Amino acid sequence: MKAKLLSLVKSSISEGYLPKDWHCHKKNVVETFTGYLSLIDGCVAIGTVYYHKIKDGSHFVADIEGGFILKGDSIKVNMAHDEFIYTHEDNAHIYLRYLNEYYTDESLTAFNLVIMADGTIAHIDHAYYWESDQEYHYDPEDDDNDEPDDDDVIWDYHDGPMYHDCRADDRKPGIGFEIEKAGDPEFCGHYNKEQLFRHTGCIMESDATVDWELKTPVYPLFSEKIESSWLPEIARAINAKNHNNAGGHIHLSLPPKSGKQMFDHCRPYMPLFMALYPKRLEKDYCIGKKEHNLKQDGDKHQAIKIWPDRIELRFPAKVYNLKALLFRLRLCRLMVAREHTNILSVTLAAFDKKEPLYQLLMEEYTGRELMLLQRIIKTAKDYFNTELQNEKSIEALLKNLKCNKACVLPS
């Protein structure tokens, strides 16, 4: 125990958490959230957890009341004169929201923003002032047509605004969705395209391949707000009618990794993920390729598009509803968290009752375990040069499943 404590003291000193004369202040030594030791007067306490003021400074911010809060629990509020404050996200309702950023009443003018007649916020360039009621509206005052025309409800292909990033810290993992649909565009409430973007950060565009697609902002991958508020507020669009050719692209980033590094990071989970949508890999707009060719080719229509800063998974099929999208979100979280580091261990985890991966997959594949395993084996061989069928553990698992035994790992 003494040797372990001595090692911790040495590492805390070498990492800059603990001063060399710490022994003069033994009673003031605390453990930080990183596990290193530090002096209490060099730390910030948030709840019962200590954060080093300098070494852990990226994890917290000073709030308006003079205390400290975790950065992930905070919102940044823009003030006048290029100033800003931080406050807890529970106080968000006090401030005005525009494109997922927050403002005070007094700061709107400095950012060329105005309060609209319906209580929402818009940029002055997108607003019309009506003399009749002395308020701002989205349409000119002499427009008698109450029904929005096509130009008001959807952007032309790739003609929408720049995508929005909802991450408070762009060094965190990010995820974004492209959801292709058919028929008339389905909006959340009765928003036009400007209102939809301003309220949700989403962009609705026409698409000749299908009918239209919804592009979400970049969300912080591990934020519970994705399932609790951000996706539910666009559920009407997510649940809209599907097109036969529709897909549900997923963009994933893990700064500071490049797109190729991100691909390598997620590689252990790719045969499993791709095996969920085998028919898409046969389409000319979602071409399944061997791993080497995926990295070398810049083809827009390959199953996994590798961008400089992210990967785009083009192989997921049409999004039937919000539940289906949340399933993919949870799978992406497991993939990026990367508890398992090779294709074999991921495959075995997919059929191990103790594993979160198994528990997720069985929400959709209970009773179809054998089919799923056979698909994974084929995908690993065809695209990742991995012969899973030659592994003894996989042979035993196949035998168990063919005998309709419980879906557990062989002993």
Share of the chain above pLDDT 90, in %: 45
Q: How far apart are CA 242 and CA 264, in angstroms?
A: 32
Q: Strand 96-98's sheet: what is its strand order? A: 84-88, 74-78, 101-103, 96-98
Are residues 274 and 335 in contact, defined by beta-carbon separation less than 8 angstroms?
Answer: no
Mean pLDDT in residue range 84-91: 88
4 Cβ contact partners less than 8 Å away, ≥ 6 residues apart: none
Nearest to 252 by CA among 172, 365, 348, 160: 172
Are residues 73 and 63 in contact, defined by beta-carbon separation less than 8 angstroms?
Answer: no
CA dihedral (99, 126, 147, 156) positive or negative: negative
Output the six-digit token pair for 31. 């453990």
Tell me how far CA of residue 125 lies from CA of 52, 60, 137, 139, 372, in angstroms.
45, 36, 11, 12, 53
User: Would you say residue 189 has pLDDT above 70?
Assistant: no
Q: Residue ranges of the domains in the chain? A: 1-53, 62-137
Q: How far apart are CA 49 and CA 58, in angstroms?
A: 15
Mean pLDDT in residue range 224-242: 90
Q: Model pTM?
A: 0.66
User: Would you say residue 128 has pLDDT above 50?
Assistant: yes
CA dihedral (272, 274, 277, 279) positive or negative: negative
Q: How far apart are CA 335 and CA 111, in angstroms?
A: 39
Q: Residue 197's pLDDT is what?
A: 86
User: Would you say residue 143 has pLDDT above 90?
Assistant: no
User: Would you say residue 147 has pLDDT above 70?
Assistant: no
Are residues 248 and 328 in contact, defined by beta-carbon separation less than 8 angstroms?
Answer: yes
Mean pLDDT in residue range 104-119: 88
Q: How far apart are CA 51 and CA 333, in angstroms?
A: 26
